[in-house]
Structure 1
Amino acid sequence: MLFFSHFLQTSRGEFDSSEFEVRRRYQDFLWLKGRLEEAHPTLIIPPLPEKFIVKGMVERFNDDFIETRRKALHKFLNRIADHPTLTFNEDFKVFLTAQAWELSSHKKQGPGLLSRMGQTVRAVASSMRGVKNRPEEFVDMNNFIETFNQKINLIDKISQRIYKEEREYFEEMKEYGPIHILWSASEEDLVDSLKGVAGCIDKCCKATEKRMFGLSETLLPVVHEYVLYSETLMLTEEIGKLEDKVECANNALKADWERWKQNMQNEIKSAFTDMAEENISYYEQCLATWESFLTSQTDLHLEETSEDKS
């Protein structure tokens, strides 16, 4: 059974401490997300990472898997803490502050008033699936989500494929340098050149590893999180069918939608910009490495030519 420790900081006055650490199971996070969805059915609840996150990239229970999911779960908590409404949810406060036995006891309690209201809203939504005259903004919202879902899923697949190919390239390149070192042992006249090539490959290998780390830390988590968001956002069509029966719910969703859309645009733009800068730095570093090697070989050749003439 996996536990995830999270160190959290807050400036909120209702907490007994500004800093604390909690250990929670994945099932605890599922419970929290469920309670938030029940209490706030018209808000966009942050998605949880899958139990087996980014299938194929890391093996379950190894260090990479545990660290990747820990970061994703921590981001989930930060999303809630940064939300103007969700941050004040009572279940969220209990999740952050309660001891393990207190949390277990709290989880056994039935849903509160807000949760029951949330269930009622969802029931009304389900009963009005045949409504045709939905507000136009919800139609636009739903069209945006459908297009966004298709595009972000495609970007996610391509990004993961690029990462996989980059890793395969990196693993092969790691074997390429030592081959030149072994070769230099049997080529007396080429020792310096072959060792120089091996040194360049080693530097490029380290640069590739750094770029892979940037890809796995900067781009992949952001893209994949919004894949999960796009699935969550399908609820907007359901809320849109409520029309004027729950006008306050519509207003809450519209406000949250604008907030989410702005955050999404900023974060995806930042992720791709950071990745572009990483790529530029990577190619500049590799180019400089090989140019330095070629310059040294040219200087060496000129020196040898000059010695032969003298």
Structure 2
Amino acid sequence: MDGERLASGSSELAVGESPRGGAPIPGGSGSCSLLQADVLDLDEDEDDLEVFSKDASLMDMNSFSPMMPTSPLSMINQIKFEDEPDLKDLFITVDAPESHVTTIETFITYRIITKTSRGEFDSSEFEVRRRYQDFLWLKGKLEEAHPTLIIPPLPEKFIVKGLVERFNDDFIETRRKALHKFLNRIADHPTLTFNEDFKVFLTAQAWELSSYKKQGPGLLSRMGQTVRAVASSMRGVKNRPDEFMEMNNFIETFSQKINLIDKISQRIYKEERDYFDEMKEYGPIHILWSASEDDLVDTLKGIASCIDQCCKATEKRMSGLSEALLPVVHEYVLYSEMLMGVMKRRDQIQTELDSKVEALTYKKADADLLTEDIGKLEDKVECANNALKADWERWKQNMRNDLKSAFTDTAEENIRYYEQCLATWESFLSSQTDLPLEEDSEDKI
């Protein structure tokens, strides 16, 4: 869009506390600014980006920082009073998937329409197109800036080599819905919604985003960070506080159960589809049969009609499963994987502190320098732990609400389905009942 401007990356922002509450924001100024992650594990195999940047001073009041609102409207939008309900000020829609074929690759882009009343945005409405790798970049940047916040999961990566027609329409639509949910979950998050990279993702045109993305650390640097994180992760586990041990135990149990539910749900759906495919054949068979049975024409056609109505009811129930239950369950399978990553990042931050304390104990380096580093790391660990604990409770409540709603809706849909099928067959049987004939037969006996 003409006239769109980009501010500097989130690492340049001075953010002290959450615009929606008093808790410090990971990645903010002061001690919490130390929460910028040392680890970013991004898949770079299909990144093809360009460079664009616009420097913004920390003292520039036109900065997009949520703590430096550009207007009274921005201040109103970003301050949440405890006795006020949430007022949604950011609306995001992901739609209109579009195929692209090049000599090198085939990919899909999605249109993203953003409408907002926030003052830190240059306009009230934006329209951009993004491909899947752009969403991967955003997820990585959020993890980098907020290592112990629970970032919403993305649908799994899926690469098709060759013709774009090999992208199944159902797959594209399923991914579109998942990407739509991903962005809206971020928009609804009290901290992530004000992340600078998120705003850039929603507003920058393709060439601007490509340029902005190249400002990040290189792949080799991230690989080195990842190796160090894996090597030190077990040390952080040893010193994990009891509350985080309980959290980790919950995640492991939850992961096992939700994966089992996901497999069972997928199997039920497959069996339902097989049943539906078989049932569709019975209607036409009864119609053909009626052509050779003059005495049973009405009865056979009636059966065919009942089967047809049951087929439609079954198809509707399958649609409910594929839209209401399966995506929700699978999303929380992905969430369980995300949570394990969050715990590892928390342990890594703890490990940094433990290493410094150990070095000071054995006086392996300058004591004054180590003492200063320990003070900073203690603040970093405290911010990381507080962010995780606050986000953990929020996530658990959302998880319970989502799963309860999904299972309740599925149960209600099943009840309606069986009631409809039962009513269909009862109506048919009633129409076929010949009471006088039955009475005559009883008299003869």
TM-score (norm 2): 0.62
Residue of 383, 387, 394 corresponding to 1:252: 387
How far apart, in 2, do the equivalents of 1:186 and 1:194 lie?
11
Letter paired with 1:98: A
Secondary structure of the residue that 1:153 maps to in structure 2? Answer: helix
How far apart, in 2, do the equivalents of 1:305 and 1:124 lie?
82
How far apart, in 2, do the equivalents of 1:68 and 1:292 lie?
38
- Determine the structure 2 residue equivalent to 1:162: 268
How far apart, in 1, do the equivalents of 2:177 and 2:391 lie?
24
Secondary structure of the residue that 2:295 maps to in structure 1? Answer: helix
Residue of 176, 186, 190 corresponding to 1:80: 186
Do the aligned residues in 2 keep the contact of 1:36 with 1:86 (CA within 8 Å)? yes
Q: Tell whether 2:375 aligns with 1:270.
A: no
- Determine the structure 2 residue equivalent to 1:39: 145
Secondary structure of the residue that 2:414 maps to in structure 1? Answer: helix
Radius of gyration: which is bigger? 2
Stretches of structure 1 lacking an aligned partner (at least 5 in a row): 54-58
Do the aligned residues in 2 keep the contact of 1:36 with 1:45 (CA within 8 Å)? yes
Instruction: Give 1:154 shift.
Output: 0.5
- Determine the structure 2 residue equivalent to 1:15: 121
Secondary structure of the residue that 1:101 maps to in structure 2? Answer: helix
- Determine the structure 1 residue equivalent to 2:341: 235
1:118-143 Cα deviation digits (max 9, x unpaired): x9999689646325342111000000
Do the aligned residues in 2 keep the contact of 1:141 with 1:236 (CA within 8 Å)? no
Residue of 328, 334, 353 corresponding to 1:222: 328
How far apart, in 1, do the equivalents of 2:198 and 2:179 lie?
14
- Determine the structure 1 residue equivalent to 2:256: 150
How far apart, in 1, do the equivalents of 2:209 and 2:294 lie?
71
Letter paired with 1:261: K
How far apart, in 2, do the equivalents of 1:220 and 1:21 lie?
30
Do the aligned residues in 2 keep the contact of 1:42 with 1:252 (CA within 8 Å)? yes
Shift in CA distance, 236/67, structure 1 to aligned 2, threshold 3 Å: closer
Shift in CA distance, 60/162, structure 1 to aligned 2, threshold 3 Å: farther
How far apart, in 1, do the equivalents of 2:233 and 2:172 lie?
43
Do the aligned residues in 2 keep the contact of 1:5 with 1:22 (CA within 8 Å)? yes
1:169-221 Cα deviation digits (max 9, x unpaired): 11111111110000000001101110000000000000000000000000000
Letter paired with 1:179: I
Instruction: Give 1:108 shift.
Output: 1.0
Instruction: Give 1:62 shift.
Output: 1.9
Letter paired with 1:200: C
Letter paired with 2:413: E
Shift in CA distance, 138/60, structure 1 to aligned 2, threshold 3 Å: farther
- Determine the structure 2 residue equivalent to 1:185: 291
Q: Tell whether 2:206 aligns with 1:100.
A: yes
How far apart, in 1, do the equivalents of 2:142 and 2:153 lie?
11
Secondary structure of the residue that 1:274 maps to in structure 2? Answer: helix
- Farther-moved stretch of structure 1 (199-208 vs 229-238): 229-238
- Determine the structure 1 residue equivalent to 2:16: none
| TM-align CA RMSD | 2.7
Residue of 48, 61, 66 corresponding to 2:172: 66
How far apart, in 1, do the equivalents of 2:439 and 2:239 lie?
88
Secondary structure of the residue that 2:235 maps to in structure 1? Answer: coil
1:72-91 Cα deviation digits (max 9, x unpaired): 01100011111111111111
Instruction: Give 1:109 shift.
Output: 1.0
How far apart, in 1, do the equivalents of 2:127 and 2:288 lie?
51
Letter paired with 1:302: L
Secondary structure of the residue that 1:129 maps to in structure 2? Answer: helix
- Determine the structure 2 residue equivalent to 1:195: 301
TM-score (norm 1): 0.88
1:217-247 Cα deviation digits (max 9, x unpaired): 0000000000001011013433156188311
How far apart, in 2, do the equivalents of 1:216 and 1:124 lie?
38
Q: Would you tell me which structure has more helix in proportion to its own residues?
A: 1
Shift in CA distance, 226/29, structure 1 to aligned 2, threshold 3 Å: same
Instruction: Give 1:63 shift.
Output: 1.5
- Determine the structure 1 residue equivalent to 2:424: 289
How far apart, in 2, do the equivalents of 1:220 and 1:182 lie?
37
- Determine the structure 1 residue equivalent to 2:316: 210
Stretches of structure 2 lacking an aligned partner (at least 5 in a row): 1-106, 160-164, 354-376
How far apart, in 2, do the equivalents of 1:286 and 1:176 lie?
15
Q: Tell whether 2:235 aligns with 1:130.
A: yes
